[in-house]
């Protein structure tokens, strides 16, 4: 179901007493997205986020996220979604409506290799991993020890092998890593489970992109007790080697327990296995276009890995041995994508964890904005700027005119569509 912006505005109004919508902006969506997301501004100039699950499975995921964020809110130094109201959607569960959180999603590949933002990302990750794992039990989240993490991935690999879509050399490469038990000795931690640039809401103090600070973390639907490397998968896939080092250095300093020496090795492996996960999901829903696109990406990944095996940088061998923060090899080059790949629905880049934007605006995305009926104390002429700062801080007077052009993950301009009040 692709719900209209007006429907989502009505959901917000019904869920939160006193919320009278003035404008609503719905994020663009794909047929297989799990949620419909919209941003609403009300007559009191407050901004709200509406998340409406499309399926019963997504509804259950949202309930898990609500349970854990309620426990995190008073234990972490950054913002998490805190619903102020709900709306019953029937079979798909409940829509949640929560106050808009400050900050913008970021592109991890654009984070500067300097002190500041990279270190803050590492400290935020450490904050989550330092939390008592008993919180997961209290929230009803799943919990996996080290061996369960490994065997679950092996089971996924066995299922993928039967599809005939995965190059044999990649299956062998991954199987060797998963069967090497020395790589899988770690203390499980509470993890976000889908941490990417889309889940990190960042604000900037000046024109320097390195000045960014993580103000909020969203997208907690896959939180669980599991391998800490899961939260590094997108980082090692998308960020530059220097930025990964800075993130890891800050993370290690902030952890209560020393990170295991194989964390980044497993993170690199998990970033590759994410393509496998996407392929299996596409096969399950019968999305032939996505299956073909992902199969092509797996073949190109195989070519890249094979080329590196023949070079002096033996990526396969090094990926199975401990690596230090400063001496680790550079990750393999990004896999080139065909122009047509970006047109295929339901496919994310290798290593991207496929989280729909939960924050103010997905980096570089366009939404549909609708201005609702006139507000007596505002006047129609004063509504031109009601949605032009959808990605900013609601507690700040700064506008997007002051946003640096090079800002990490700066969003695209949105278009406002107005309705005739008499209709």
What's the confidence (pLDDT) of residue 372? 58
Phi then psi for 97, rounded to 5 degrees?
A: -130, 120
Task: Name the CATH superfamily for 5-102+362-418.
Answer: Phosphorylase Kinase; domain 1 (3.30.200.20)
Residue 335: how many CA atoms within 13 Å on its side-chain side? 26
Mean pLDDT of 168-189: 94
Take residue 270 and report the two structure tokens written for it: 């998990």
What is the DSSP secondary-structure string of 239-259? S-HHHHHHHHHHHHHH-SSPP
Domain 5-102+362-418 identical in fold to domain 108-343: no
Whether residue 80 contacts residue 336, with contact meaning beta carbons closer than 8 Å, is answered with no
How far apart CA 360 and CA 400 sit, in angstroms, is 13
Topology given in CATH for the domain delimited by 108-343: Aminoglycoside 3'-phosphotransferase; Chain: A, domain 2 (3.90.1200)
How far apart CA 274 and CA 263 sit, in angstroms, is 16
What is the DSSP secondary-structure string of 198-227? GGEEEE-SSS-GGG-EEEEE---TT-EEE-
The pLDDT-based confidence of 115 (bands split at 50, 70, 90) is confident
Which H or E run contains 37?
Answer: strand 35-42
What's the confidence (pLDDT) of residue 2? 72
- Inform me whether the pLDDT recorded for 395 exceeds 60: no
* Domain range annotation of the chain: 5-102+362-418, 108-343
Q: What is the model's pTM?
A: 0.76
Instruction: Report the range of poorest mean pLDDT among 109-123, 151-165, 298-312.
Output: 298-312
How far apart CA 119 and CA 131 sit, in angstroms, is 19
Whether residue 19 contacts residue 42, with contact meaning beta carbons closer than 8 Å, is answered with yes
Whether residue 11 contacts residue 93, with contact meaning beta carbons closer than 8 Å, is answered with no
- Inform me whether the pLDDT recorded for 142 exceeds 70: yes
Long-range Cβ contacts of 305-313 (<8 Å, 24+ apart): 305/169, 305/170, 305/173, 305/332, 306/169, 308/332
What's the confidence (pLDDT) of residue 411? 39
How far apart CA 34 and CA 54 sit, in angstroms, is 6
What's the confidence (pLDDT) of residue 305? 83
What are the tens digits of pLDDT across the range 339-389? 444 444 444 443 333 333 443 333 444 455 555 554 334 443 333 333 333
What are the tens digits of pLDDT across the range 31-82? 889 999 999 999 999 999 999 999 999 999 999 999 999 999 999 999 999 9
- Inform me whether the pLDDT recorded for 141 exceeds 80: yes
What are the tens digits of pLDDT across the range 11-36? 999 999 999 999 999 998 888 899 99
What's the confidence (pLDDT) of residue 177? 94
Radius of gyration in angstroms for the set of CA atoms belonging to the chain, rounded to a whole number: 22
Mean pLDDT of 164-175: 93
What are the tens digits of pLDDT across the range 201-232? 999 987 777 789 999 999 999 999 999 999 99
């Amino acid at each position: 179901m692709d719900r209209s912006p007006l429907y989502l505005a009505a959901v917000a109004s019904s869920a939160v007493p006193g919320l009278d919508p003035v404008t609503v902006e719905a994020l663009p969506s794909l047929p297989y997205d799990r949620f419909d997301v919209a941003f609403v501004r009300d007559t009191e100039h407050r901004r709200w986020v509406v998340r409406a699950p499309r399926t019963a499975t997504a509804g259950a995921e949202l309930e898990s996220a609500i349970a854990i964020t309620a426990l995190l809110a008073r234990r972490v130094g950054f913002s998490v979604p805190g619903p102020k109201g709900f709306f019953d959607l029937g079979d798909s569960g409940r829509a949640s409506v929560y106050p808009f959180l400050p900050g913008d999603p970021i592109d991890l590949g654009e984070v500067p290799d300097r002190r500041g933002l990279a270190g803050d990302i590492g400290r935020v990750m450490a904050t989550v991993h330092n939390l008592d794992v008993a919180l997961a039990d209290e929230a009803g989240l799943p919990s996996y020890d080290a061996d369960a993490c490994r065997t679950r991935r092996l089971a996924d690999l066995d299922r993928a092998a039967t599809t005939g879509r995965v190059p044999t050399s990649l299956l062998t490469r991954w199987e060797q890593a998963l069967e090497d038990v020395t790589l899988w000795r770690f203390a499980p931690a509470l993890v976000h489970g889908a941490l990417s640039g889309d889940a990190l809401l960042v604000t900037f103090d000046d024109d320097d992109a390195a000045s960014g600070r993580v103000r909020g973390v969203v997208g907690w639907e896959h939180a669980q007790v599991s391998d800490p490397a899961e939260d590094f998968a997108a980082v090692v896939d998308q960020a530059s080697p220097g930025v990964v080092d800075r993130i890891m250095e800050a993370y290690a300093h902030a952890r209560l327990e020393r990170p295991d020496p194989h964390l980044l090795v497993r993170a690199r492996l998990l970033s590759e296995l994410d393509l496998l996960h996407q392929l299996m999901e596409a096969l399950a829903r019968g999305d032939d276009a996505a299956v073909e696109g992902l199969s092509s990406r797996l073949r190109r990944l195989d070519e890249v890995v094979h080329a590196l095996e023949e070079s002096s940088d033996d990526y396969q061998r090094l990926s199975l041995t401990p690596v230090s923060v400063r001496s680790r090899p550079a990750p393999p080059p990004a896999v080139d994508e065909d122009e047509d790949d970006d047109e295929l629905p339901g496919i994310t880049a290798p290593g991207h964890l496929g989280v729909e934007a939960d924050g103010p605006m997905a980096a570089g995305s366009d939404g549909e904005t609708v201005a609702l009926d006139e507000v007596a104390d505002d006047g129609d002429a004063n509504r031109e700027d009601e949605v032009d700062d959808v990605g900013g801080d609601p507690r700040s007077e700064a506008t997007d005119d002051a946003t640096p052009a090079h800002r990490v993950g700066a969003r695209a301009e949105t278009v406002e569509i107005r309705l005739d009040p008499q209709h």
